[in-house]
Amino acid sequence: MTTQDAAAEAAGSGTTTDDGIVVRGVTRAFGAVQALAGVDLEARPGAVTALVGPNGSGKTTLLLVLAGLLTPDGGEVSVAGHDPVTAGPAARARTGWMPDAFGTWDSLTAREVLTTFADAYRLDRAPSRRRIDELLATVHLTEYADRPASVLSRGQKQRLGLARALVHDPQVLLLDEPASGLDPRSRVDLRQLLRRLADEGRTVLVSSHVLTELEEMSDDAVFLSRGRTVVPDTSHGVTSPGDGRRTFHVRALSLPALTAWLDAAGAAWRPDEPWTAPTTGPGGVLVEVNGDEGAAALIRDAVAGGVPLVSAAPAAGALERAYLTLEEERR
């Protein structure tokens, strides 16, 4: 499928809020463990939404609820305009789900796996056969199309799993750790593919631990902690790259010298690792600067001011920092 086609399709189908994911106050317990304790989430069509949270924060459980596999104990869920509980088949027909851990039928070829799923979604044979060829090309498995899935590597199986989730052309994509096991090249491909799918007007919800990865491809981010959506301190902008202001990560041999100089210069700064105690030795801070020119001025003045500067670079991982500012501990 080319981008033009996709754009035409997106324009034709018309994206409404019904095509997205809406979650309101969803709870779910497994025995004594409260896996979801009130999740609110909105993923809009045409955007990649990142689902971020520590291990055991309920990401997978939430995705299982959205995929229609688990009944929530309470709350409302709408996936592509349908409730996965009361209108399961309607919601599932529009949802592509890729679990974090899944198997393939080892004896079947990649093409047979996809054909089986096309049949399972009750798709017409002829168009779905063409679509399967396209999907195999999309995930770069064409040369493995007729080899048994048992010869595929972990990353190739992961890509086959992605193709499987896309076989029925779903409006909503739920991807649980899609990048795990992928080589760097495949990660870039995945990022571009998800971007394209979102640009086609689909709703894409991705959970991952690779935060820099997520940051590059996601438009929105939702943080989960202990089964709740939490709003991290995003005053320094999780999602806003660009305009004038940029955050620089500045490190010096002596943290007190650096901060003293910044205070004297009147520059606003904050610790780069707020969760650790301040040191008197080497350390770094985050400084808001006015574009690259502002950064150049900062570095020049700091060196001139006698600060033992080690490095100054654009701060990466806004998502990571937001993640780390989550107050709750991992469990």
Partner 1 sequence: MTTVELDEHPVAVPPAHPGHWHVTWHGVRTVAALELRQRVRSTRWVVALVAWFVVVGGLTLLISGALSAVDDGADRQRGALLFAAVTFLVLGLGLLVTPTLASTSINGDRAAGTLATLQVTLLTPAEIALGKVLAAWTASCAFLLASVPFLGFAAAVGPTPWWSVLRVVVLVAVLLAAVCGMGLGFSALVARPAGSTVLTFVTVAALVLGTPLLFGVTYPSVEQTESVQVRVQRTDDVTGNPTTCELTTQQRSVAHTERTWWLLALNPFVVMADGAGTSSSLDQAEARNDPLGVLREGVRLARTGASATIDECWGVDGGRVEPTADAPIWPWGLGVNLLLGAAGFVVAVRRLSLPQGKLARGTRVA
Site residues, partner 1 (CB under 8 A): 1-2, 4-5, 8-9, 12, 30, 60, 64-65, 67-71, 84-85, 88-90, 92-95, 97, 99-108, 112, 116-124, 127-128, 130-131, 148, 161, 164, 168-169, 176
What Rg value do the Cα atoms of the chain yield, rounded? Answer: 23
Which is closer to partner 1, CB of 25 or CB of 148? 148
Contact 141, 156 (CB under 8 A): yes
Nearer to partner 1 among residue 85 and residue 265 (C-beta): 85
**In the complex, what is the shortest distance from the CB of residue 52 to partner 1, in angstroms, rounded to a whole number?**
19
CB of 117 to partner 1, least distance (A): 6
CB of residue 161 vs partner 1: minimum separation in angstroms? 8
Residue (43 or 326) nearer to partner 1, CB: 43
> Is the CB of 120 or the CB of 253 nearer to partner 1?
120
Nearer to partner 1, 65 or 295 (CB): 65
- Least gap, CB of 13 to partner 1 (angstroms): 10
At its nearest, how many Å lie between partner 1 and the CB of residue 173? 13
d(CA 66, CA 72): 9
H or E stretch including 246? strand 245-252
Judged by DSSP in three states, 46 sits in: coil
In terms of CB distance, is 42 or 112 closer to partner 1?
A: 112
Maximum C-alpha span of the chain: 73
d(CA 331, CA 42): 25
- CB closer to partner 1, 45 vs 161: 161
Give the 3-state secondary structure of residue 54: coil
Please say whether the beta carbons of 225 and 51 come within 8 A. Answer: no
Cα–Cα distance measured from residue 108 to residue 103, given in angstroms and rounded to the nearest whole number: 12
For residue 34, the minimal CB distance to partner 1 (Å) is: 15
Structural contact between residues 194 and 102, judged by C-beta atoms closer than 8 angstroms? no
CA 82 and chain centroid, separation: 23
Q: How far apart are CA 108 and CA 138, in angstroms?
A: 20
Backbone conformation region of residue 79, classed left if phi is above 0, alpha if psi is from -120 to 50, else beta: beta
Least distance in Å: CB of 57 to partner 1? 16
| Closest by CA position to 66, among listed 218, 212, 222, 190 | 222
